[in-house]
Amino acid sequence: MEKLNIDSIKNKFSVNRHYIKNGKLCEAKNFSSTSLKEYNELKKDTLITIEENRNPYYKGLSTYTKAVRNINSNFRSVKIYNINTLLLKREATYFSYFDYYLNNYGGAKGLEIGISKEYDENGVLIKEIDNDKNYPFPINMLIEKVKTDYNIDLSVYNEEKPILVWRFYENSRWVYCVRIFLSTDLIGPKRFIKLDGVTGEVISDKVVSLSVDTSINTNTKAGKRIEKLDIESIKNSKFAKYRKVIGSSGDHIYLLEYKELINDTLIIINEYEDIYKKTTQKMNSPFSNNKVYYKSNYQLKSEANEFYGFTIGLGRIYEEDGSLIQVRNYEEYPFSIEMLIEKMKNEYNIDLLNIENVILGDAYSGISPSVSYIYTNDFGWIYEVRVAKSFFFRRAIKINGTTGELISDEDNIYTWKK
């Protein structure tokens, strides 16, 4: 029976994120979470993180999650504890991981490997899960092969160009899929290597890339990114307007709204109580770039790109002085946007790169993306592509986000809610 010893650190939890910079643990005071608190400790090269996750809707899912990893490693061990009894509920080892947060109310994100264990409310072991049973070609052999054949070390953590590894069943065999970012561009070329999970044989090796406007695709190396919003020029522009809203204090305040079409590029800037947000999008393009700026000094706070309204590629978060806090990976699926575009063009004659060719109307919300990325219990993450056939009918094509296989291709009738 294992319990989490929380007494000595319970007053050291913070809502602010932490990050590693030059081998030191730093606190990002301008980035916090409303759903969890965390404790971080760096012992030499070992990072220990404990997250307090309180689920406001299902208290039984509230947990402490403890993760331990070497800051240069793509492996981490994770233990989940009952937030009330502090007894161990689950433990597992993860290789490569997809998100900053360790826990999504009970489940850390990443490729679960080895033996995972589950415990009952009394801390008694009730279940062991062999995550490797379908993979006689194990992770250590995968790492060795990719390092020997491709000179890429999957075991080393690379935040600026994150490496992800998936395992899934496809075409009657268990496979690995390794994704490698080949640049630090927000939307850059990626390499996908598929290998047989039994023999280690390479099934496919493909580099995919998108041709996007350079104005929405930035490249940041280690260090600082200094970019400031020229707010005075914007305020003095003839395109600047103000909207009256009720602020958090209950008083009426006036916030800036700016919208201008420059050549074929639409620029929208909105002021909020604590930030400015800038969106840049070329006409008839499904891609847009979103940047958030600090109000204190107008310095860039975060940036990411969207494809039909959902975030893709890499995103970056910065401190007020421009220091890079974190690189976030927004593509947690092995069938990439590039592959989806190619598939829809070749198999369905639908050009997703021209939004004039795809429906933008949605029955319930007016204008909405024509490509959605949604989670389902049966298939995990899937794409839904919607194409107009007539005023009353639309074609809805659902594609598996893991394998790229067709799930369904149906005609739907528009309905309206009063």
What's the CA gap between 240 and 216, in Å, rounded? 22
Query: Which long-range contacts link 24-28 to residues 24+ away (Cβ below 8 Å)?
Result: 28/317, 28/319, 28/325, 28/326
Residue 399 class from Cβ within 10 Å (0-12 exposed, 13-18 middle, 19+ buried)? Answer: buried
Residue 309 near residue 303 (C-beta atoms within 8 A)? no
The closest of 89, 9, 300 to 290, measured between CA atoms, is 300
Pairing of strands 393-400, 380-388: antiparallel
Percent of all residues in the chain with a pLDDT value above 90, rounded to a whole number: 47
- Write the pLDDT tens digit of every residue in 55-68: 766 666 788 999 99
**What CA–CA distance (Å, rounded) separates 51 from 39?**
6
Q: What is the per-residue pLDDT across 259-302, written as a single tens digit (0 to 9) for each? A: 999 998 999 999 999 999 999 998 888 899 999 999 999 999 99
What does residue 417 show for φ and ψ, rounded to 5 degrees? -95, 135
Instruction: Supply the pLDDT for residue 97.
Output: 65
Say how far apart CA 180 and CA 151 lie, in whole Å.
12
pLDDT value at position 225? 80
For residue 275, how far is the Cα from the chain centroid?
22
C-alpha to C-alpha distance for 198 and 242, rounded to whole angstroms:
62
Q: Please, which pLDDT band fits residue 195 given cuts at 50, 70 and 90?
A: very high
**Residue 99 pLDDT level (bands cut at 50, 70, 90):** low
Cβ–Cβ under 8 Å, residues 162 and 304? no
| Paired sense of beta strands 36-43 and 24-32, if any | unpaired
Give the whole-angstrom CA distance, residue 79 versus residue 65: 6
pLDDT value at 226 more than 80? yes
The DSSP element (H or E) to which 337 belongs, if any, is helix 337-348
- Give the amino acid at 393: F
Neighbours of 231 (CB within 10 A): 16
Mention every residue, 6+ apart, whose C-beta is less than 8 A from residue 41.
25, 47, 48
| Coil, helix or strand at residue 252 | strand
Contact at 8 Å (CB) between 116 and 124?
no
CA 75 to chain centre: 19
Give 66-86 pLDDT, tens digit per residue: 999 999 999 999 999 998 899
Both tokens of residue 281? Answer: 């999008």
Measured between alpha carbons, how far is residue 299 from residues 17, 27, 381 in Å? 19, 18, 34
Threshold 0.85, pTM exceeds: no
Report the alpha-carbon distance of residue 250 to residue 245 in Å, rounded: 9
Per-residue pLDDT for 256 more than 70?
yes
Which tens digit of pLDDT belongs to each residue from 348-369? 888 888 776 544 333 333 333 4
Give the β-pairing of 111-119 and 88-95: antiparallel
Span 29-35, average pLDDT: 66
